Amino acid sequence: MEDYNKIIESLGVKFIKARNIRILQPITIKNFYDVENTLLILYNGEVSIGEERVRVDVGDMLFIPGGKHVTVTYGDPTTSKTVSNEEFMTHRETYWEGNHDPKLIGHLPNSFGYVSFEAKVFDSVNFFNSLDVPPFIIKREDHLANTIDQILAEDMTDLAGKGRIVKIKTEEIVIEVVRYILKNRLFVEQLVTNSTYFKDPRLIDIFAYIKENLGGDLSNKVLANVANVSEDYVGQYFKMLTGINPQDYIEYQRMEAAVGLLRTSKKSIRGIGAEVGYKDTAYFCRRFKMMFGIPAGKMRRRESLMNV
């Protein structure tokens, strides 16, 4: 249990957004993808996950880790329209309608709520993504459900201290998700493996260096110098401890940073690509679309629609 407490204590949790959504039209989104973790609660109607369309029961929750491609169906699967992630992001107002009245949370037909957040080990590694946790359903956890409701309601207000309360409640839901995993013995092997982050300071040094130098040279030669291991060994060493190739991890970090800049700045696509380490804008755009399923420009438009 001590290792799990260390993991929780190391997590940097950041609230991204919370929405209460009414489904206007049944829709199946193929290869939905986002960099943030999403915790969804179904209030009324139908939501299902995967190609097998495993149903989420009313009152239950669906957890989708950031960085995972998944098929999600909102509404009746027998009448749903199947669209790509790009189509959904471009025309999301056709399929969803946002509720901004806290009194209506949980009372609208065909509705759900969700909270999106980051949870990073040492403020560097996407925790749930690093565990290779698949999307999963959380059954009948009333405390967790109530916490989501509180975040949704608080986020709709302009009361003093709103940001602080939302931050505290978001940290609470991350802890509750980890507790649910432990209580139900889900992905225990991955959790144990994840504790390696706390046992090798060289790996932590690599994480920190990558975070601080996303726009620079992050070749295996450079990482080897940071960790004081050989260039031939650094890739094997990194993958042995994290389960992922270092260059794949670096690309994910760069794309995650690009999404953050698209969300918060008015910088050009070229400028954003260069800032996160891509000298060739065309290559950056190709890799971005390959990872997220939509062009970088449409991702920016998607962010402008987040208040739907």
List the CATH number of the domain containing 282. 1.10.10.60
Q: With respect to residue 308, please indicate whether it lies within any of the assigned structural domains.
A: no
Query: Within this chain, do residues 163 and 249 fall inside the same structural domain, yes or no?
Result: no
Question: Under DSSP, is residue 11 helix (H, G, I), strand (E, B) or coil?
Answer: strand
Query: Within this chain, do residues 89 and 122 fall inside the same structural domain, yes or no?
Result: yes
Q: With respect to residue 193, please indicate whether it lies within any of the assigned structural domains.
A: no
Query: Within this chain, do residues 149 and 226 fall inside the same structural domain, yes or no?
Result: no
305, pLDDT greater than 50: no
Structure token digits, residue 268: 């050009």
Lowest mean pLDDT among 107-116, 121-130, 228-237: 121-130
Structural domain including 237 reads: 200-299
Q: With respect to residue 195, please indicate whether it lies within any of the assigned structural domains.
A: no
For the chain, percent of residues with pLDDT exceeding 70: 93
Query: Within this chain, do residues 133 and 22 fall inside the same structural domain, yes or no?
Result: yes
DSSP conformation letters of 146-209? HHHHHHHHHHT---TTHHHHHHHHHHHHHHHHHHHHHHTT-SHHHHHHHGGGGT-HHHHHHHHH
The pLDDT value recorded for residue 11 is 86
Lowest mean pLDDT among 26-35, 93-102, 121-130, 210-219: 121-130
Give 290's contacts (C-beta < 8 A, 6+ positions apart): none
Query: Within this chain, do residues 98 and 209 fall inside the same structural domain, yes or no?
Result: no
Q: How far is CA 215 from CA 227, 253, 274, 287, in A?
A: 19, 11, 7, 16
Query: Within this chain, do residues 237 and 288 fall inside the same structural domain, yes or no?
Result: yes
Q: With respect to residue 113, please indicate whether it lies within any of the assigned structural domains.
A: yes
Query: Within this chain, do residues 98 and 32 fall inside the same structural domain, yes or no?
Result: yes
One-letter amino acid for residue 163 of the chain? G
Q: With respect to residue 23, please indicate whether it lies within any of the assigned structural domains.
A: yes
Indicate the length of the chain as a whole number. 308
Nearest to 29 by CA among 296, 256, 302, 263: 302
307, pLDDT greater than 80: no
Q: Do residues 8 and 178 touch, judged by C-beta distance below 8 A? A: yes
Query: Within this chain, do residues 134 and 3 fall inside the same structural domain, yes or no?
Result: yes
Q: With respect to residue 204, please indicate whether it lies within any of the assigned structural domains.
A: yes
Query: Within this chain, do residues 129 and 208 fall inside the same structural domain, yes or no?
Result: no
Domain count, the chain: 2
- Residue-wise pLDDT for 144-178, tens only, equals 999 999 999 999 999 999 999 999 999 999 999 98
| C-alpha to C-alpha distance for 130 and 138, rounded to whole angstroms | 20
Q: With respect to residue 189, please indicate whether it lies within any of the assigned structural domains.
A: no
